[in-house]
């Protein structure tokens, strides 16, 4: 195997190994809130997951909507 092929092989392996590690440690937790908006959802995520890394938060619906928290450990 020449130098270029070996370098390409190593780069492909690094890309494949790096892409699977971040997806394994994240999950989405959901809560029903009487009035779901950005601020109440963010606060609920923070209360439930203090000390963990909250990547995203969003609401599905406004009145009795579901607050979604994407948590990565």
Q: Where are the domains of the chain?
A: 24-73
State the average pLDDT for the chain. 82
The dihedral sign for the CA sequence 64, 60, 49, 25: positive
- Please list the alpha-helical segments (H only) found in the chain: 3-24, 38-48
- Rounded to two decimals, what is the model's pTM? 0.64
Cβ neighbours for 52, distance < 8 A, ≥ 6 positions apart: 71, 72, 73
Task: List Cα–Cα distances, 66 to 7, 19, 51, in angstroms.
Answer: 48, 29, 22
Confidence band, pLDDT 50/70/90 cuts, at residue 20: very low
Q: What does the pLDDT look like over 24-55, one tens digit per residue?
A: 689 999 999 999 999 999 999 999 999 889 99
Look-up of token digits 């203090």: 50
């Amino acid at each position: 195997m020449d130098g270029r092929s070996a370098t390409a092989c190593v780069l492909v392996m690094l890309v494949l190994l790096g892409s699977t590690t971040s997806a394994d440690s994240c999950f989405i937790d959901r809560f029903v809130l009487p009035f779901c908006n950005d601020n109440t959802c963010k606060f609920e995520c923070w209360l439930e997951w203090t000390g963990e890394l909250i990547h995203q938060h969003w609401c599905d619906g406004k009145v009795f909507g579901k607050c979604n928290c994407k948590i990565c450990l």
